[in-house]
């Protein structure tokens, strides 16, 4: 390795050295030295603010989606509960009509798919068919609603002159402008 003597102390130095390690003297003329500028501050606040803003927007969007999904689930559950209530009410009214309560026929019109004329014929056809029959307990499950038709399982305990028995049947549903309605063929067969 080639060395040259330091012009200040004669210690061996590399030809490319800018100062002498032995005497700590500069070896480059003052006008040829590298200039060092003032330190520049780097602003790290902008990326952090952008990151926080992006995270906030993402959280707000996620919260909004979660909220909308909750509302949709709630509306779906409420709609299904309304259908179950209508099935329960319609079935109970039809059993009451079978027991001889002609007024029950008029109330059933709101939950049955029949036209008013057909409903009147169906109800008058079953009035007094099984006098004294009454619903003790009723439950609706296995609700299956498609686009325009559906089914539901109705289980009820009824009491009449023959005693108490359980009825378990699947009823057909049809979607009308007013919502889901029971279809009825005029025979309760309780």
Average of per-residue pLDDT across 158-186: 81
CB atoms within 10 A of CB 112: 23
- Angle at which helix 45-98 crosses helix 116-126, to 10 degrees, equals 50
Is residue 7 in a domain? no
- Dist CA 151 CA 169 (whole Å): 10
CATH of the domain at 153: 3.10.450
Residue 131 is classified by DSSP as: T
- Dist CA 174 CA 146 (whole Å): 9
Is residue 108 in a domain? yes
Average of per-residue pLDDT across 49-74: 90
Is residue 107 in a domain? yes
pLDDT at 190 over 80: no
Is residue 157 in a domain? yes
Q: What's the confidence (pLDDT) of residue 89?
A: 87
Is residue 23 in a domain? no
Average of per-residue pLDDT across 121-147: 80
Q: Tell me whether residue 154 is exposed, middle or buried, using C-beta atoms within 10 angstroms of its C-beta: 0 to 12, 13 to 18, 19 or more.
A: buried
pTM for the predicted model, two decimal places: 0.59
pLDDT in tens, 6-53: 988 999 998 888 888 888 888 876 565 555 566 666 666 667 778 888
pLDDT in tens, 81-100: 888 988 888 888 888 888 88
Is residue 35 in a domain? no
Q: What's the confidence (pLDDT) of residue 186?
A: 46
Is residue 121 in a domain? yes
Most confident of 33-42, 116-125, 137-146, 169-178: 137-146
Average of per-residue pLDDT across 125-143: 82
Residue 78 host element (H or E) = helix 45-98
What's the number of domains the chain is made of? 1
Q: What's the confidence (pLDDT) of residue 127?
A: 61
Domain boundaries, position 144: 69-182
- Dist CA 80 CA 75 (whole Å): 9
Residue 134 host element (H or E) = strand 134-145
Is residue 163 in a domain? yes
């Amino acid at each position: 390795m080639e060395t040259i003597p330091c012009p200040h102390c004669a210690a061996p130095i590399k030809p490319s050295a800018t100062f002498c390690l032995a005497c700590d003297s500069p070896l480059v003329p003052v006008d040829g030295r590298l200039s060092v500028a003032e330190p520049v501050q780097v602003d790290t606040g902008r990326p952090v603010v952008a990151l926080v803003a992006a995270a906030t927007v993402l959280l707000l969007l996620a919260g909004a989606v979660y909220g909308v999904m909750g509302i949709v689930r709630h509306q779906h559950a409420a709609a299904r509960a309304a259908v179950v209530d209508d099935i329960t009410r319609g079935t109970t009214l039809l059993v009451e009509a079978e027991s001889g309560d002609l007024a029950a026929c008029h109330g059933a019109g709101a939950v049955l798919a029949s036209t008013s004329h057909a409903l009147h014929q169906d109800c008058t056809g079953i009035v007094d068919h099984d006098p004294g029959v009454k619903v003790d307990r009723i439950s609706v499950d296995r609700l299956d609603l498609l686009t325009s038709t559906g089914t539901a399982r109705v289980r009820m305990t009824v009491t009449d002159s023959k005693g108490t028995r359980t009825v378990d049947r699947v009823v057909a549903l049809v979607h009308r402008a007013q919502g889901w309605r029971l279809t009825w063929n005029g025979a309760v067969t309780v």
